[in-house]
Structure 1
Amino acid sequence: MSGVNDDRLQFWALYLARFAEGFGFITLITLLPYYINALDPSGTTILGVTIGAGLVVGLYTTGFTLAQTVAVVPVAWAGDRFDKRTVLLVVLGIGIGVYGLFPIVDSSASFIAIRALQGVAVTGAGLMSLSLVGQLAGGDTRANYIGKANAASFAASIAGSLGAGTLYEAFGFGPIFAIIVALMLVAWLGTVRFLEGDETRIHGFPFADLALNRRILTLSSFRFQYAFSVTLVRTWVPIFAGVAAAQGGLAYGGLAVALTVVAEKFTNMCCQPFTGRLSDGYGRALFVFAGGGAYGLIALFVPLSPAIGTAIGAPSELVVAIPTVLAGAALPIGTVPTQVTLFGEVSPAFLPLVALSGLLGVADSFREPASMALFADEGTADGGVASSFGIRELVWRPGSVIAPLLGGWLMYEVSMASVFYVGGAFALTGVGSFLLILVWVHGANALTEW
């Protein structure tokens, strides 16, 4: 019984690490507009090359992404070659230092440099925590435990995206990063106290062998295309909700836009432990196929939300009635509010858009834990689980970098709706090629046997 309890504590320590890493990541995304305002980036000349203010702002995110990409291979190699627990402690320690530095940045150059270090910390914590979860969990429960770890990360995303802006308006940057540092420190201490050392040691360079693994290649045929789909759809749902009608958007206020984002994260968080457990029992490849296909189909309906809202008679404003006794019976007659309008002015598209965003989260919850468990299966079998997750990260990178550029071009040169049609098409072609390769290379029963 004590062994079961010890394992439970190890998993909880890893879930806490996932939460802390996710909270720090989403908080910086939420605070990015405030940093742009505070730092007021301007153009500069380096070695005779003029860099415009727009490019400097782009480096606020690209510096982070490039550092993540560069960090994947060495961090994953170190995790397989040495003790993953030690590597996790190192990257959590880097995170503590990085988040402690953010309140004192005073220029675009320092912000970009610290964001790059944050990219190393986020990538390292994500790779090591997921690798350890996949390694600790048995093969028949792996997707379930990975789903729980992802749920912790989504919970952090919800808390961070809802709380960061409010805290900044009230207190500024300092207290927000004090909270993140405290969370990272608690995660570091939990890892020290409850997580056992990792005794696996993989010599050589497991990336080379795993890169030619037939199952990983098959999964990558789907994942490469699906990265374009998810990046386009997740990025443009809030853009669609918030930008002006002249640009093809719905021009909703900040709270309404936030709800469209939170809906996807909330349903994904709630469903992943359950769908992970189902995929352990009924076939992980089947859940990757079904979840990816459903995501693509739902994405096609997102730009149709205004038509859907009109067809079903969705309200153009949401109000809550307030009983007079609760509103303040002591106030003079005629001054007591009897109702409050939620989210500001919205159109009939609002409720369908929130519902579709939630359905996107449900669909992706079928795909994500199953996909991660398949990568963990292959890495564990071949002795390089961290490298297996590293390959998974690298396959995602082209889509995460190129898709925003593609989406911006489509939005301005074609239409807002075209972004979602192209995003949905990437998911559908991804599951189509995945199924064809699966049946052709691995047999007709592979969809349910994996």
Structure 2
Amino acid sequence: MTVPERRQLQTLFFTRFANSYGLVTLLTLLSEYIDLLDPEGLLLGMFAAGLTLAQAGTVVPVAYLGDRFDKRTLLLGGLGLATVVYGLFPLVGSSWGFVFVRGLQGVATTIVGLLGLALVGQLAREDDRGNTIGTSNAWRFAASIGGALSAGLLYDAFGFGVVFGVLAAICGLAFLAVLAWVEPDETTTSGFALTDLALNRRILTITSFRAQYAVAVTLVRTWVPIFAGVAAARGGLGYNAAVNGATAVAVVIAAEKFTNMLCQPYTGTLSDRAGRAQFVFAGGLCYGLVALLVPSAPAVGAGLGLPATFPFLGNLSPAFLPLVALNGLLGVADSIREPASMALFADEGTGTGVASSFGVRDLVWRPGSVLAPLAGGWLTTNVGMAWVFYLGAGAAFTGVAAFAGILTYRYGVTGLAEW
């Protein structure tokens, strides 16, 4: 029996929910693992880079296999692997053990994320693709909110075991849903579409921005919870020392996810109507501006005389509310960019190799996402944590400058309005 397109999309949205739930849970608990295992320098950077290195090595084969064979079968394999991986995390007892299991998580999340998104882009109508992808991303951010808050609450109450048991159960449910409600994918292609799409003129232009923007988002998104959670002696705000410290960090993370979730379906619709390039430019510019302000959260809180103690969370600092607000603004800024950027890749890949198109998108992200945490670890240890955010902001600014410059060179002063 043929499954309605709407049901298939809803199921795929749930796979993105499950995938994001796992990623944000680990991000929320990253400062707990840092305090527990005490890595420094490049090893500290590997706590984030272990994930991204594994993702980088997985993208090309997954993109090729996804276009060459049945995406649904590969997606089921990724969900099965994710279920096993989350059962391994409570067994970790060393820094390198954490890096290894984090790498396995990177393999699983790349398979699920890339192929789930490829199937969404393939099923979406061209004139509604930005909205469909924005809605898909809203599910992803809903998971990020739930993952951040539940990870903090469950960890504070029960420890690591229960947290990862919940993650394994969610991935198992996603596996069963795909098995029941997503049809086998028959839109296979021959050859190696990834190389052709990598030389596509539009994709080359958007990657001029994306390669640099990866540094910005990886640094800022990874270091906001580190800034909130790690001890003040290491440059952070030390919220983990509070009564419910992991929950306080989760609230900070959830602010960015919540605003992103609310805005993406709307901004995706606007990009369908008004063109995509100007949304990419505006979102990247705003992200850099807000990132510059993150280290000023303590000064803002002290200057405004904001409270330092909060119900349930305990004694934090006057920087708590400004940090929540700034991270929320980062979510708004990224929501302007993301559905437009993703729809550009889907537009170019549909019919010729949509998994490969998103594979190029993912692959271009990887160098920055691998190198940025290593740079962030070095800056945190040797210069100061504020410089992580300054570097992130600078990468966003150079990315939007390159993107606007190329479009202006090709189309003139109205270049941003051409796409």
What is the TM-score normalised by the length of structure 2?
0.88
**Cα offset, 1:61, TM superposition:** 4.6
1:267 is matched with: 259
Structure 1 gap segments, 5+ residues each: 42-51, 320-339
Residues 314, 351 of structure 1: 8 Å contact kept: no
Partners of 1:207 and 1:109 lie apart in 2 by 33
CA contact (8 A) 2:79 2:112 kept: yes
Could you say what secondary structure the match of 1:25 adopts? helix
CA distance in 1, matches of 2:209, 2:396: 8
Deviations 1:209-252 (A, max 9, x none): 11111111110110111111112222232333344555554444
- 1:15-38: per-residue Cα shift (whole Å, max 9, x none)? 110111112223334445666788
Shift in Å, 1:400: 1.2
Aligned to 2:293: 301
Q: Residues 138 and 20 of structure 1: is their aligned pair in 2 closer, same or farther, counting only changes over 3 Å? A: same
Deviation digits for residues 98-140 of structure 1 (CA, Å, limit 9, x no counterpart): 3344445677776554433322110000000111111111112
How many matched pairs?
414
Structure 1 match to 2:6: 8
Query: CA distance change for structure 1 residues 175 and 407 in 2, over 3 Å: closer, same or farther?
Result: closer
Partner of 1:122: 109
Question: Does structure 1 residue 400 correspond to structure 2 residue 400?
Answer: no
Question: CA 1:104/1:258 → structure 2, altered by over 3 Å: closer, same or farther?
Answer: closer
1:94 is aligned to 81
Partner of 1:141: helix, strand, or coil? Answer: helix
Name the stretch that deviates more: 208-217 or 103-112. 103-112
Q: Aligned pair 1:131/2:118, yes or no?
A: yes
Q: Cα RMSD (Å) of the superposition?
A: 2.9
From 17, 24, 37, the equivalent of 1:19 is: 17
| 1:377 and 2:347 are equivalent in the alignment | yes
Q: Please name the residue that 1:439 is paired with.
A: 408
| Separation of aligned partners in 2, 1:285 and 1:188 | 36
- What whole-Å deviation, never above 9, does each CA across 1:147-200 have from its counterpart, x for those lacking one? 121122222222222222432454444433332222122211211222122221
Q: Distance in 2 between matches of 1:247 and 1:110?
A: 23
Structure 2 counterpart of 1:262, which letter? Answer: A
Change (3 A) 1:411 1:137: same
Give unmatched runs, 5+ long, in structure 2: none
Which has the higher mean CA deviation after the structures are superposed, 218-227 or 424-433?
424-433
Deviation larger for 352-361 or 210-219: 352-361
CA contact (8 A) 2:21 2:144 kept: yes
TM normalised by structure 1 equals: 0.83
Structure 1 Cα separation of the partners of residues 328 and 162 of structure 2: 31
- CA separation of 1:243 and 1:53: change in aligned 2, threshold 3 A: closer
The 1:98/1:373 distance shift into structure 2, 3 A limit, reads same
- Is the alpha carbon distance of 1:291 and 1:401 closer, same or farther for their aligned partners in structure 2, counting shifts above 3 Å? same
* 3-state SS of paired residue (1:203): coil
Residue 366 of structure 1: how far off its partner (Å): 0.5
Say which SS state the counterpart of residue 127 (structure 2) adopts: coil
Aligned residue in 2 for 1:351: 321
Greater Rg by CA: 1
| CA distance in 1 between partners of 2:230 and 2:253 (Å) | 14
The reply on whether 1:367 has 2:337 as its aligned counterpart is: yes
> After the TM superposition, which residues 242-261 of structure 1 pair with which residues of structure 2 at under 5 Å, given as runs?
242-245=229-232, 247-252=234-239, 253=242, 254=245, 255-261=247-253
Change (3 A) 1:94 1:218: same
Q: Offset at 1:82?
A: 1.1
2:393 aligns with one of 402, 424, 428: 424
Change (3 A) 1:407 1:20: same
Amino acid in structure 1 at the alignment position of 2:181:
F
State the match for 2:173 in structure 1. 186
Change (3 A) 1:234 1:82: same
Q: How many Å separate the matches in 1 of 2:34 and 2:404?
A: 44
Answer whether contact 1:143 1:276 (CA < 8 A) is retained.
yes
Q: Deviations over 1:424-450 (max 9, x none)?
A: 121112111101101212454442231
Q: Percent identity?
A: 59
- Greater alpha carbon shift after TM alignment, 55-64 vs 366-375: 55-64
Q: 8 Å contact 1:317–1:342 — kept in the other structure? A: no
Q: Distance in 1 between matches of 2:312 and 2:175?
A: 43
